[in-house]
Amino acid sequence: MAQAVSDEAWLQAMLDVEAALARAQAAVGVVPRAAAEAIAAACGASRFDVARIGQEARRSANPVPALVRQLTSALPAEAAAWVHWGATSQDILDSAMMLVARRGLDLITADLAGLAAACAGLAERHRATLMPGRTLLQQALPITFGLKAAGWLVAVDEARVRLVEVRRQRLAVQLGGAAGTLAALGERGLEVAAALARELRLAEPVLPWHTARARVAELGAALAVAAGVAGKIALDVVLLAQTEVAEVSEGSPGGSSTLPQKRNPAAAVEVRAAARSAVAPAGLLLGLMDHEQERAAGSWQAEWPALTEVLLLTSGATGRAGEMLEQLVVDEERMLANLAQSGEPLMAESVTMSLAARVGRARALELVGTSLQRVQSSRTSLREELLTDPGITGHLSAAEIAEALEPAAYLGSTSKMIDRALAAHAQRSDPR
Amino acid sequence: MAQAVSDEAWLQAMLDVEAALARAQAAVGVVPRAAAEAIAAACGASRFDVARIGQEARRSANPVPALVRQLTSALPAEAAAWVHWGATSQDILDSAMMLVARRGLDLITADLAGLAAACAGLAERHRATLMPGRTLLQQALPITFGLKAAGWLVAVDEARVRLVEVRRQRLAVQLGGAAGTLAALGERGLEVAAALARELRLAEPVLPWHTARARVAELGAALAVAAGVAGKIALDVVLLAQTEVAEVSEGSPGGSSTLPQKRNPAAAVEVRAAARSAVAPAGLLLGLMDHEQERAAGSWQAEWPALTEVLLLTSGATGRAGEMLEQLVVDEERMLANLAQSGEPLMAESVTMSLAARVGRARALELVGTSLQRVQSSRTSLREELLTDPGITGHLSAAEIAEALEPAAYLGSTSKMIDRALAAHAQRSDPR
Amino acid sequence: MAQAVSDEAWLQAMLDVEAALARAQAAVGVVPRAAAEAIAAACGASRFDVARIGQEARRSANPVPALVRQLTSALPAEAAAWVHWGATSQDILDSAMMLVARRGLDLITADLAGLAAACAGLAERHRATLMPGRTLLQQALPITFGLKAAGWLVAVDEARVRLVEVRRQRLAVQLGGAAGTLAALGERGLEVAAALARELRLAEPVLPWHTARARVAELGAALAVAAGVAGKIALDVVLLAQTEVAEVSEGSPGGSSTLPQKRNPAAAVEVRAAARSAVAPAGLLLGLMDHEQERAAGSWQAEWPALTEVLLLTSGATGRAGEMLEQLVVDEERMLANLAQSGEPLMAESVTMSLAARVGRARALELVGTSLQRVQSSRTSLREELLTDPGITGHLSAAEIAEALEPAAYLGSTSKMIDRALAAHAQRSDPR
Amino acid sequence: MAQAVSDEAWLQAMLDVEAALARAQAAVGVVPRAAAEAIAAACGASRFDVARIGQEARRSANPVPALVRQLTSALPAEAAAWVHWGATSQDILDSAMMLVARRGLDLITADLAGLAAACAGLAERHRATLMPGRTLLQQALPITFGLKAAGWLVAVDEARVRLVEVRRQRLAVQLGGAAGTLAALGERGLEVAAALARELRLAEPVLPWHTARARVAELGAALAVAAGVAGKIALDVVLLAQTEVAEVSEGSPGGSSTLPQKRNPAAAVEVRAAARSAVAPAGLLLGLMDHEQERAAGSWQAEWPALTEVLLLTSGATGRAGEMLEQLVVDEERMLANLAQSGEPLMAESVTMSLAARVGRARALELVGTSLQRVQSSRTSLREELLTDPGITGHLSAAEIAEALEPAAYLGSTSKMIDRALAAHAQRSDPR
């Protein structure tokens, strides 16, 4: 990704737009075909002096005038005459930004596909691997590790679908000319815009969007959401990898500069760092929609680095998360052991529900609560306490109590949910 | 909107979910129909002590346990037994949040429809009203006020379409039980979830989304984008209403506490304030996706006020923007006068393009640039300077120069663009 | 705090400024003393119609004109004539904002003093309570719970000191008149401003700060930092309260709506939610510094709710954190048990350092690392492995190895650090 | 600045910390002096393979272990043995971050000093240059351009003072060892920390601050405030440079890729872009204070790029703002002409105040308001209308009315304020 959003990549994208513009105008008959081909042929970033363009960019607060000067001077007069014809700097930069975004999205959606595959593998493989479900970081009820992975899977798939949607619907060509009227192209403006969209394989917008920045803001938000999905997975991994939990560990844990025994969840840490950071440029893009009149004096110029950064960070989060999950080491024994640590009290809801069907929810909560208090004070087992309470044994037999205390029997729709997640994934994985 | 997101509205939404849950379970056969009806009948917010629920909410870090206690105690035992059956606090709150969001979205999409109508009216009415287009707040080229309004229109319509999409696709029921397995509902969990979705007319998600928060983050982002669209319009209004520009004024301008002559763009100021503020809770929601394991210890609880706030602020921005535009006073004479102030130099691109078709873009820029410099030093008119330069008159006749200096003749695709925007609007305004 | 930042509190603060302005002008001789006293006497919020002021505020995008109208109409002509003399809306609102902020800061610094006291108590009491130090949530080295609390203490104290500093240096009166020149007060403007500062006990700024908003941004940031300090403590509590760690629990844990056994860290959860949320309005205030010319068209108006919110959230975080720590239940046995769980490998650095003094750091890391690997593969103890490696026993005696494996002997500067933190706290707790 | 925060600069800063650590330990007698000197001599960044360190950094989620490996392997055994003695990665990185921050702050405070000098020059030079003051972008009252510049000046000076304060008080050494106890240094930990602080000329904190991140958050906020101050100046410049206002222009305005007549405020645009962007990493740093236990799993790692970015952006904003103001072209005639455009109505407050002293503020507002309405409907002058209203002429003579309508006579404390700002600046410019 670093390459896809480098200064060189941005420069090439701008040149791609200049080349496509010339070709689109040739197709429409506005520019001579030979001139267009000469322009297109000259649009290789390696021929340009990136540093100088960067330096001169300061003068205009954008790099396009300098780029156009270099491009023009590299061409014979009859082609040079047609460079940048009818366009304005923002046309080039905005369209280039869409190309950069597209390349970035392709990498990230591929990352997400890999991450989803890793989730799906874990969901399938650990469909029945019992572990404690934790709410507010307290053990709550048994779940399976497969269900947790299925939850990750659905989130990853939905984030990917949204990015694919943004890619298809919101990456649009920008061509408006100096003030959005396409005046310099006379009657042919919209025709050229349509041809340019075809050349660049970008959507054709209803109007030029030079000061309508929702598509950039939405792109940033969708990327941050994808990063956030990876971040949630990494957070779970960090928590499950804690010394006292130890239910998972990374395949290639990180070392410490001083502690030889440390097995740090380094990948998860990096995913979390990237995911949390991605929110900043995404939030910035949401706040940069206030473009003045026909071109913004600051909000527009701030978009380029923000978009670059949110692409980089999201890619960092999603790519590394995939590697992390693919290599994840799952300790099923430890999961069972942790479940056993909480022991029967974890099954309190199960007993409550069995009882509630007979005596009502409120009364059942009360009865089971009393038993739990006795467990805590007397250090007996919940089963013992339940069996000594006539309020309970009057309604539940010993066998029913035993059944209610069995974690594997109290998983509800876990298996069906995993099926649903895998089925939805299979469907969504079809080529777009 | 204040009402739609009030504490009472949240309470009623939670009660609506409890009622719908009972009914859904009755439909599926999990709960006796009579009990369900009794529960549903008791779920009127006015019967509840909101203040006490608020106070007790602190104990559990969420209001549902207190609400369930009040609801249970208000019912006869045979109905009380079935209250909140198989659900957990987050099921109630998350589903209620979707109901609150839906009501908020309905108000905001209606606001946006009104705002779009106002934009469309201006686009149509001022299709040919000449004014200066301004880039980096410098006069650049002539546009029409109708084109500016058409740009607003497309942005408003797209924001509305996105909100409608979010409303339809992302407002989903949440039902997972204590740890997301629906364990307390045995085999019937998913059936109940589907029935609950039908009762509440919410989408049925692939899996419970208790810790997959993309839908909340996306909702916040889409709202902030809508607010941002209104904010851009308000920014344009503030700038056009400046004393020195004076092209528009508000129908009901604000007064000053000390300056009797002030006619402040008060509505635009309030829209801008709301729009800029909306980014903060939206950014926060993007950053709150890191929910720990099966229920978050803080990120979840922070969502409720953030969503409330982004709904309020977006509604403030979009609603007030509609009123502002409906009453907007447009001074066509002043627009023309401002255009004349810049005078012929504003038409420099027009002359350049005419000339470029004959001598190439680079040479044309050079020739016109020289004329412009002479204009500045000698305080003559551009027309005079152009006519005295044989490098120009050798390629353009006096009539061609005159034509090139005519603003109304250099509007490019303006009129077609307005048609496109109005046509897209007409299509999008169809009932969803 | 809810009361201190309520609509009524803002209204009273604005009235306090109007009253103080009249008195300051009387002191300077600009306004008749009798008129000033009549104005001051009328400035009780309870006499005003808050709802109507709120409604009319929309017209001017600020509430002061409506308030001035109500105040004026409540007074006899000879006093009414002098209401709001020479001031502008922003003077009243900005100075009122400082009063609201001061009251909020007083509450929050008191909260922080309480929180610091709780930290200091824990630091003292648990000075020698061994527990695992955890880095990247992996057990790393032994620390004491007192040291952890000492770390919290220093952070709380520093946040409080910063808020006290902001309160003293940055809460300044605003008086500039309609455009910042104090023109309406002729020659007496700065004299009145100084007198107003004295009346309100606010700092006198070098210049009116109507569009220099650093003090508001800094206030927001300092509050968010204080909230962040509380949030870090709450995060530690949530993590230490995890079922598998169980080293602390809240004194009044929260219940669940469905799981009778749950003991949720409800206070920590609420502190975290508030702390994370506080960043949003604080970040917004940082972003609202771009005030246009002599009064902002949006950025100013967005400050009031953002400041209100950051005060509320910070107060929520710091106040609740104090209660949480005061009641915190610390399980010393469990801390020791968790330390033992990692066992001797946790002491690897200790052994390494003992060895490094003889063979160098790199070689020592290598030797101890090899022993650790053998521990993992052979499930022996680290002591056994160390004692069987001649590379180690050649440099360390069995007694030295035993000493190096003793957690309580490897606490470094822990005790001195606790002393430093307590000493710094004692010094800082002196009345300001 | 790009150089001061480059990867190489970070690397050198980390090496500076390793070198200083060795020297500090030699000073205290923990490490042999010869070893320390050998280590220090090896700590030149140019000898290291930055790319490889970057690559290996991924494994540990931080670059220090790789750096320590390279450093160790470059030394003879007797020196290598003492590398990184008793420290942990975070000690090196956090202390290095402070060094990077210090260098960045030095550049930025120098930028701010230059910016302040430019402001002071304008304030002095344009002390009496009349121009319209504008509130909500409406002309309000006459001010002078010198007063506006004085307002900028005070803001710049206060931002600089705050950064100097942060630099002095909050840039502190970090040394805690693996879990913050300095265990590996036995009894000598705090002594080494003090010596290290002296070596690096950083403050010695009360305790290691590995998870107390207020100083990083405060640093980010103070930088964003400085950027915001520059951004406000740039916003004023953009607005004053508008075609219709034209009161200032940049000395080296930017060109357009298509419009030969454009004179874009390119510097102001870049300052605004940088200033708005700086808020994002600063807000992120405020939100990253939630560090888990004794070392964060993500929040810490996200700080490095965020701090780098906020330094870069603030430097971009403040440095460019200085150049912009130094070259600013001020059009005094145009300022007067714009003032005249609003004409006498702008002096309405002046007349009102003169009248209010005789008839009270409410009655005066009413009388002047009526005259203003007549001006608007009848297109007469305000003077004429005032002179025909017996309600006014009964209290003000024609000479008094003429005096009240004179802009230069209604500047209140403008000149004294400029003196105050310049005096405060002179005092603050003393060497720190």
Residue D361: pLDDT over 80: no
**Number of other residues whose CB lies within 10 A of the CB of residue B212:** 25
d(CA D205, CA D174): 8
Instruction: Write down the catalytic residue from C215, C295, C320, C383.
Output: C295
d(CA C163, CA C315): 13
**Taking CB atoms and an 8 Å limit, are C212 and D235 in contact across chains?**
no
Sign of the Cα pseudo-torsion (C258, C260, C262, C265, in order): positive
Tokens encoding B303: 């969502």
Which residue did the predictor score with more confidence, C41 or D430? C41
* Interface size between C and D, measured as CB pairs under 8 A: 354
Chosen from B131, B135, B138, B355 to mutate, greatest number of chain D CBs within 10 A:
B138
Q: Average pLDDT, whole number, for chain C?
A: 94
Residue of C nearest to B65 (CA): C257
Residue D432: pLDDT over 70: no
Q: Is A287 on the interface with C (CB under 8 A)?
A: yes
pLDDT at D430: 61
Q: Is A68 on the interface with D (CB under 8 A)?
A: yes
Structural contact between residues B36 and B25, judged by C-beta atoms closer than 8 angstroms: yes
Tokens encoding B59: 């104990």
Sign of the Cα pseudo-torsion (A214, B238, C7, C207, in order): positive
Q: Is B58 known to be catalytic?
A: no
The residue among C287, C283, C307, C215 whose CA lies nearest residue D161 is C215
The residue among D22, D153, D81 whose CA lies nearest residue D418 is D153
Residue C311: pLDDT over 80: yes
Residue in the structure block whose two tokens are 């990015």: A163
Instruction: Identify the band that residue C430 occupies on the pLDDT scale cut at 50, 70 and 90.
Output: low
Residue of D nearest to A65 (CA): D257
**B57-74 burial: b if 16+ Cβ within 10 Å, else e:** bbbbbbbbbbbbbbbbeb
**Taking CB atoms and an 8 Å limit, are A260 and C372 in contact across chains?**
yes
Residue of D nearest to B375 (CA): D261
Least confident of B304-313, B344-353, D228-237, D293-302: B344-353
Q: What percent of chain C has pLDDT over 70?
A: 99
D contacts of A271 (beta carbons < 8 Å): 298
pLDDT at B356: 86
Residue of B nearest to D267 (CA): B136
Residues whose CB falls within 8 Å of the CB of residue B132, separated by 6 or more in sequence, listed in order: B139, B140, B141, B142, B143, B335, B338, B339, B342, B346, D243
The per-residue pLDDT for range C7-47, each reduced to its tens digit, is 999 999 999 999 999 999 999 999 999 999 999 999 999 99
Give the nearest partner residue to A261 out of C259, C287, C348, using CB atoms: C348
d(CA A175, CA A243): 57
pLDDT at B328: 97
The alpha carbon of residue A365 is apart from the nearest alpha carbon of chain C, in Å, by 7
**Residue D199: C-alpha distances to residues D19, D100, D164, D216 (Å):** 9, 15, 20, 21
The per-residue pLDDT for range C111-136, each reduced to its tens digit, is 999 999 999 999 999 999 999 999 99
- Give the DSSP per-residue string, A305-338: HHHHHHHHHHHHHHHHHHHHHHT-EE-HHHHHHH
**Taking CB atoms and an 8 Å limit, are C260 and A368 in contact across chains?**
yes
Q: Is B251 on the interface with C (CB under 8 A)?
A: no
Instruction: Write down the catalytic residue from B47, B59, B60, B256.
Output: B256
Residues whose CB falls within 8 Å of the CB of residue B11, separated by 6 or more in sequence, listed in order: B45, B48, B50, B53, B63, B67
**Residue C117: C-alpha distances to residues A95, B395, C269, C427, D347 (Å):** 59, 86, 21, 13, 58
**Number of other residues whose CB lies within 10 A of the CB of residue B408:** 11
**Taking CB atoms and an 8 Å limit, are B178 and A412 in contact across chains?**
no
Give the nearest partner residue to C260 out of A134, A342, A372, using CB atoms: A372
Enumerate neighbours of A (3 or more CB pairs within 8 A).
B, C, D
d(CA B133, CA A90): 15
Q: Which region, left, alpha or beta, applies to residue B180 given φ > 0 means left and ψ of -120 to 50 means alpha?
A: left
**Residue A239: C-alpha distances to residues A214, A242, C248 (Å):** 37, 5, 17
Q: What percent of chain D has pLDDT over 70?
A: 99
Give the nearest partner residue to B372 out of D139, D140, D261, using CB atoms: D261
Degrees to nearest 5, angle at CA A368 with A363 and A374? 130
The alpha carbon of residue D130 is apart from the nearest alpha carbon of chain A, in Å, by 26
The ipTM (two decimal places) reads: 0.95
Structural contact between residues D186 and C412, judged by C-beta atoms closer than 8 angstroms: yes
Residue of C nearest to B264 (CA): C60
Which residue did the predictor score with more confidence, D55 or D286? D286
d(CA A269, CA A317): 10
Sign of the Cα pseudo-torsion (D135, D139, D140, D141, in order): positive
Residue of A nearest to D87 (CA): A258
The alpha carbon of residue C288 is apart from the nearest alpha carbon of chain D, in Å, by 8
Q: Is C242 on the interface with A (CB under 8 A)?
A: yes
Structural contact between residues C331 and C248, judged by C-beta atoms closer than 8 angstroms: yes
Across residues D168-185, what is the average pLDDT? 96
Phi/psi at A133 (nearest 5 deg)? -80, 145
Q: Is C350 known to be catalytic?
A: no
Residue D94: pLDDT over 60: yes
A contacts of B362 (beta carbons < 8 Å): 72, 77, 80-81, 83
Sign of the Cα pseudo-torsion (A370, A376, A381, A382, in order): positive
Structural contact between residues A171 and A102, judged by C-beta atoms closer than 8 angstroms: yes
The alpha carbon of residue A106 is apart from the nearest alpha carbon of chain C, in Å, by 31
**A144-162 burial: b if 16+ Cβ within 10 Å, else e:** bbbbbbbbbbbbbbbbbbb
Please report the residues numbered 147 through 166 in chain C whose beta carbons come closer than 8 angstroms to any beta carbon of chain D: 147-148, 150-151, 154-155, 158-159, 162
Cα C215 vs. chain centroid, distance in angstroms?
A: 17
**Taking CB atoms and an 8 Å limit, are D346 and B140 in contact across chains?**
no
**Taking CB atoms and an 8 Å limit, are C368 and A239 in contact across chains?**
no
The residue among D126, D110, D248, D82 whose CA lies nearest residue D167 is D110
**Taking CB atoms and an 8 Å limit, are D60 and A89 in contact across chains?**
no
d(CA C155, CA C148): 11
User: Residue D390: what residue type?
Assistant: P
**B89-120 burial: b if 16+ Cβ within 10 Å, else e:** bbbbbbbbbbbbbbbbbebbbebbbbbbbbbb
pLDDT at C432: 45
B contacts of A162 (beta carbons < 8 Å): 214, 218
Phi/psi at B87 (nearest 5 deg)? -105, 170
Give the nearest partner residue to A179 out of B140, B181, B236, using CB atoms: B140
Chosen from B233, B257, B288, B313 to mutate, greatest number of chain C CBs within 10 A:
B257
Residue B220: pLDDT over 60: yes
Q: Is C60 on the interface with B (CB under 8 A)?
A: yes
Structural contact between residues C306 and C289, judged by C-beta atoms closer than 8 angstroms: no
pLDDT at D261: 73
The alpha carbon of residue D340 is apart from the nearest alpha carbon of chain C, in Å, by 17
The per-residue pLDDT for range A261-314, each reduced to its tens digit, is 778 999 999 999 999 999 999 999 999 999 999 999 999 999 999 999 999 999
Q: Is C134 on the interface with A (CB under 8 A)?
A: yes
DSSP state at residue C298 = S
Residue of B nearest to A83 (CA): B361
Q: Average pLDDT, whole number, for chain D?
A: 94
The residue among C168, C139, C114 whose CA lies nearest residue C322 is C114
Low-confidence ranges of chain A (pLDDT < 70): 258, 430-432
d(CA B279, CA B298): 21
Tokens encoding A341: 């640590």
Residue D97, burial from CB neighbour count under 10 angstroms (0-12, 13-18, 19+): buried
Degrees to nearest 5, angle at CA B32 with B29 and B38? 135
Residue of B nearest to D261 (CA): B345
Residue in the structure block whose two tokens are 């366009």: A87
Q: Is D239 on the interface with A (CB under 8 A)?
A: no
Which residue did the predictor score with more confidence, B359 or A189? A189
The per-residue pLDDT for range B68-82, each reduced to its tens digit, is 999 999 999 889 989
Across residues B133-148, what is the average pLDDT? 96
Q: Is D211 on the interface with C (CB under 8 A)?
A: yes
User: Residue A12: what residue type?
Assistant: Q
**Taking CB atoms and an 8 Å limit, are C178 and D207 in contact across chains?**
no
Instruction: Write down the catalytic residue from D170, D295, D320, D383.
Output: D295
Residues whose CB falls within 8 Å of the CB of residue A293, separated by 6 or more in sequence, listed in order: A211, B133, B134, B135, B137, B148, B236, B239
- The H-or-E segment that residue B77 falls in is helix B77-80
Instruction: Write down the catalytic residue from B295, B320, B383, B428.
Output: B295
The residue among D373, A288, A238 whose CA lies nearest residue B255 is D373
**Number of other residues whose CB lies within 10 A of the CB of residue B379:** 7
Instruction: Write down the catalytic residue from A127, A272, A295, A383.
Output: A295
Degrees to nearest 5, angle at CA C323 with C318 and C325? 90
The alpha carbon of residue D113 is apart from the nearest alpha carbon of chain C, in Å, by 17
Structural contact between residues C129 and C339, judged by C-beta atoms closer than 8 angstroms: no
Give the nearest partner residue to C297 out of B88, B269, B283, using CB atoms: B269
**Taking CB atoms and an 8 Å limit, are C245 and A242 in contact across chains?**
yes
